[in-house]
Copies of this chain bind each other. A is one copy, B any other.
């Protein structure tokens, strides 16, 4: 066993698939994309540069979701990752407030852009508005991710409105990562609003097309949008044209596609939540996205044992700023979830 050396990042588990392995690791849908996105695409033979900002048709399709918006307010990006990278590079120096636990890449993205992450610890898996208020004043931006990876939680509407208000008064940017916006079980999502809000979204999770890498950023503040475009001109140019075609077609999928997927996700959520509760674990009930983040004793030992002996992949909470927890993605068949829970039970007993 060499868990301390090998468990330094999730990359240890990348490509580790197989019939006998049950993976609660990777954070991507296993369900198929809408047929609209993949059928009947013909590759055009004009493959010249597209607009850096993104194809007009795709921005047009998106603008119906942002009623006060013009096409100029969007930049189509290589997934939500590039959108975040461009936003923070466009901001220049300063601090970014991250709720903790956070999505694995957030602190890296912030630092790579030359900014500095500052953390506010979640309370019961949700933002502690008092701690938030204490820390936000020194920051240039905050990054909100509701529904959240890795907590599966959705912020209270009251909290989100409070965040809008505090940041608006202070002139602090709110970057709202809404990639799980449609995967929400408890209520409609609340979309953060205001001139100081920069929204990030993608087609990856909603339409099960992570590998196509199409996302976008949106803000009513044209200056930050223009700055992002300028940076993208030098660092990657237009987002892949075929990918943008596929994204455009995905937006034409009927609402029932999303609702049917949501039914499947909710059933899986119920199984894994009940299963982990029955094992006596302490965890937050997931309200969106497809992750659970239970507390466990000796997480490194457990994750390593589960992988090596029981062929179950789980992720260390410490990669997400939650060192006393492990993260499970439930993007897999119900039968596999149940089998995985059985194996986890054995692993937990063995650890004691």
A48 to B329, CA, bound (A): 15
- Asked whether any CB of chain B lies closer than 8 Å to the CB of A7, the reply is no
Interface size range of chain A in the complex: 35 or more
A39 to B233, CA, bound (A): 29
- Asked whether any CB of chain B lies closer than 8 Å to the CB of A236, the reply is yes
Residue of B33, B81, B108, B213 near A45 (CB, 8 A) is B33
Residues from chain B with Cβ under 8 Å of A246 in the complex: 43, 242
Pick the most buried of A39, A210, A235, A242: most chain B CB atoms within 10 A of its CB. Answer: A235
CB distance from A34 to the nearest CB of B (A): 10
This chain: how many copies in the complex?
2
Residues from chain B with Cβ under 8 Å of A140 in the complex: none
A213 B239 Cβ-Cβ under 8 A: yes
A210 B243 Cβ-Cβ under 8 A: no
CB distance from A146 to the nearest CB of B (A): 21
Do A236 and B85 form a contact, CB below 8 Å, given A212-B242, A231-B112? Answer: yes
- Asked whether any CB of chain B lies closer than 8 Å to the CB of A255, the reply is no
Chain A 196-213 per-residue mask, 1 if CB under 8 angstroms from chain B, else 0: 000000000000111111
Chain A 227-257 per-residue mask, 1 if CB under 8 angstroms from chain B, else 0: 0000101111111111100100000000000
- Asked whether any CB of chain B lies closer than 8 Å to the CB of A171, the reply is no
- Asked whether any CB of chain B lies closer than 8 Å to the CB of A38, the reply is yes
Residues from chain B with Cβ under 8 Å of A29 in the complex: 48
- Asked whether any CB of chain B lies closer than 8 Å to the CB of A105, the reply is yes
9 examples of A-B residue contacts, CB within 8 angstroms: A43-B246, A47-B212, A49-B211, A81-B235, A81-B237, A89-B112, A108-B234, A212-B241, A243-B243
Chain A: residues with CB nearer than 8 A to chain B?
11, 14-15, 26, 28-30, 32-33, 37-39, 41, 43-52, 78-79, 81-82, 85, 89, 105, 108-109, 112, 114, 208-214, 231, 233-243, 246
